[in-house]
Amino acid sequence: MKTETRLLRAEPASDAGFASLAVPVTRASTIVFPTSDAFERRYEQFYDGYTYGLYGTPTSRTLEARISELYAAEHCLCLPSGQSATVLALSALLKAGDRVLVAASAYGSTRTFCTDMLAAFGVEVVLYDPTIASGIGALIDDRTRVVVVESPGSNTMEIQDIPTIVQAAHALGARVLADNTWASALHCNPLDLGADMVMEALSKHAGGHADVLIGALVTRNEALFRRMKDVSRLMGLGVSADDASLALRGLQTMPLRMEREGVSALTLAHWLIGRPEIARVLHPALPGDPGHHLWKRDFRGASGLFSVELAVPYQNSTSSFVDALRIFRIGASWGSTHSIVTPQVPFRSNGGPGSTSRKLIRFSIGLEPVEDLQADIEAALAVLSAGTTHSVRKHAVDQRELQKEER
Ligand SMILES: *Cc1c(COP(=O)(O)O)cnc(C)c1O
């Protein structure tokens, strides 16, 4: 055998005696088989074995096993992003002529995928009021295949009565898909509340460092899992071993990070309620929140994401406030070690129930000491009231000048 061929056929060194705490990163597109017969029968092991890198590697299977365990479920399928997981689930369950119900408070791209793409493929899309509870029954007809819940809503934080919605949906033969990204498996398990499948964007709390994108679909129903897996192959969706290993690393510290972020977020939320610049703090763990009783019943904890609405005199000065923040960085996404502020998220602008042009500011609390975060917000609020005082004064001066001229 020539040198070139020998290099191409190099066998890895033996791993006997190598016991690392880290999950190995196993990259592959091609997976080789010992015989042509084994290759021809490869799809027998499609769901839990290895056939092609896109359909799973030991690293991605390890991640799927961890996530399944967190949800006390048998099946998990990881996908390249939370959005691709939602798209896969809905595409696999719906066809032309069906109807899907989507919470009007759901993640923006979930709603838009339904209203733009699914609608174009002949699926009837109904956006419903997230606080509808048993009223959902009136929207479910015999063409309704799926009800999408997301609790709390991405920006507006309404808690949904998942058990009641599940009961109504199942009574009429519809399945419930729950986006559980805010809570993660640590704070809520929608499968225990009756949902058929959970979607969690592992890009958020599990990844935890704003540097990886992965989504997970989790279910206790084997037929549903197999359907997802089949469609993931047809859509060409799989996760890289490198990304899966980052998510596995993130999971190790997720409980500690989420505990810290939750405590800091609640401290800030309570403090912000008392500030005159703030009209409303939207956080389901606050006793005054409209969804608080449901949150207490169905959740074990709160994550670090919440929104505020500025008081009326300051509503046009959102950018001065956000731009004055120094520790909070401006951007989308959440669940990272860094605190993030998302300016001007629409309260509800989707034409669904409760649509309004009101805007919110969303905070994702990171691991910085809460004193630093509070000081940062306090300084930015001072800019806000200084700006308004200035413009109020300027307005008064202008008025006086005008009156003088008139005299
Ligand atoms: C971020 C997010 C998604 C999408 O996840 P990506 O991994 O960014 O695609 C879906 N739902 C919710 C609630 C999210 O916050």
Q: Are residues 151 and 47 in the same domain?
A: yes
Which of 247, 265, 297 marks a domain boundary?
Answer: 247
Sign of CA dihedral 63, 64, 66, 67: positive
**Ranges of residues in the chain whose predicted pLDDT is under 50:** 392-399, 402, 405-407
Q: Are residues 105 and 156 in the same domain?
A: yes
Q: How far apart are CA 109 and CA 150, in angstroms?
A: 13
- Residue identified by tokens 């015989």 is 35
Q: Are residues 294 and 213 in the same domain?
A: no
With a 6 Å cutoff on the Cβ, whether 158 touches ligand 1 is no
Q: How far apart are CA 228 and CA 230, in angstroms?
A: 6
pLDDT at 406: 45
With a 6 Å cutoff on the Cβ, whether 215 touches ligand 1 is yes
pLDDT at 350: 61
Q: Does residue 405 sit within a domain?
A: no
Q: Are residues 157 and 220 in the same domain?
A: yes
Q: Are residues 123 and 262 in the same domain?
A: no
Whole-number Å distance, alpha carbon 4 to ligand 1 midpoint, is 46
Whole-number Å distance, alpha carbon 213 to ligand 1 midpoint, is 9
Q: Is 284 helix (H, G, I), strand (E, B) or coil?
A: coil
- Residue identified by tokens 């809460």 is 370
pLDDT at 11: 86
Q: Are residues 121 and 215 in the same domain?
A: yes
With a 6 Å cutoff on the Cβ, whether 298 touches ligand 1 is no
Q: Is 402 exposed, middle or buried (0-12, 13-18, 19+ CB in 10 A)?
A: exposed
Q: Does residue 407 sit within a domain?
A: no
Whole-number Å distance, alpha carbon 404 to ligand 1 midpoint, is 58
pLDDT at 12: 87
Q: Does residue 10 sit within a domain?
A: no
Q: How far apart are CA 346 and CA 399, in angstroms?
A: 34
With a 6 Å cutoff on the Cβ, whether 83 touches ligand 1 is yes
Q: Does residue 198 sit within a domain?
A: yes
Q: Are residues 25 and 110 in the same domain?
A: yes
Summarised one tens digit per residue, pLDDT across range 137-162 is 999 999 999 999 999 998 999 999 99
Whole-number Å distance, alpha carbon 175 to ligand 1 midpoint, is 21
Q: Does residue 171 sit within a domain?
A: yes
With a 6 Å cutoff on the Cβ, whether 154 touches ligand 1 is yes
Query: Residue 179 belongs to a domain with what CATH number?
Result: 3.40.640.10
What ligand 1 atom has the least distance to the C-alpha of 106? Answer: 13
Query: Residue 388 belongs to a domain with what CATH number?
Result: 3.90.1150.10
pLDDT at 407: 45
Which of 225, 247, 269 marks a domain boundary?
Answer: 247
What ligand 1 atom has the least distance to the C-alpha of 215? Answer: 7
With a 6 Å cutoff on the Cβ, whether 80 touches ligand 1 is no
DSSP assignment of 14-54 equals P-TT---SSPP----S----SSHHHHHTGGGGTTTS-SSGG
Q: Are residues 289 and 367 in the same domain?
A: yes
Q: Which of 154, 184, 198, 340 to mutate to test the pocket of ligand 1 (most atoms within 8 A of CB)?
A: 154
- pTM of the prediction? 0.93
Q: Which of 88, 114, 181, 303 to mutate to test the pocket of ligand 1 (most atoms within 8 A of CB)?
A: 181
With a 6 Å cutoff on the Cβ, whether 82 touches ligand 1 is yes
Nearest C-alpha neighbor of 132 from the set 105, 110, 93, 98? 105
Q: Are residues 239 and 268 in the same domain?
A: no
Nearest protein CA to atom 11 of ligand 1, as residue: 107
Q: Are residues 189 and 330 in the same domain?
A: no
Q: Are residues 192 and 296 in the same domain?
A: no
Q: Does residue 105 sit within a domain?
A: yes
Q: Are residues 77 and 208 in the same domain?
A: yes
pLDDT at 392: 47
Nearest protein CA to atom 15 of ligand 1, as residue: 181
Q: Does residue 404 sit within a domain?
A: no
- Expressed as residue numbers, the domain containing 159 is 20-247
Tally of domains in the chain:
2
With a 6 Å cutoff on the Cβ, whether 107 touches ligand 1 is yes
CB-CB contact of 72 with 191 (8 Å): yes
What number of CA atoms fall less than 13 Å from residue 121's CA on the CB side?
Answer: 13
Which of 203, 218, 247 marks a domain boundary?
Answer: 247
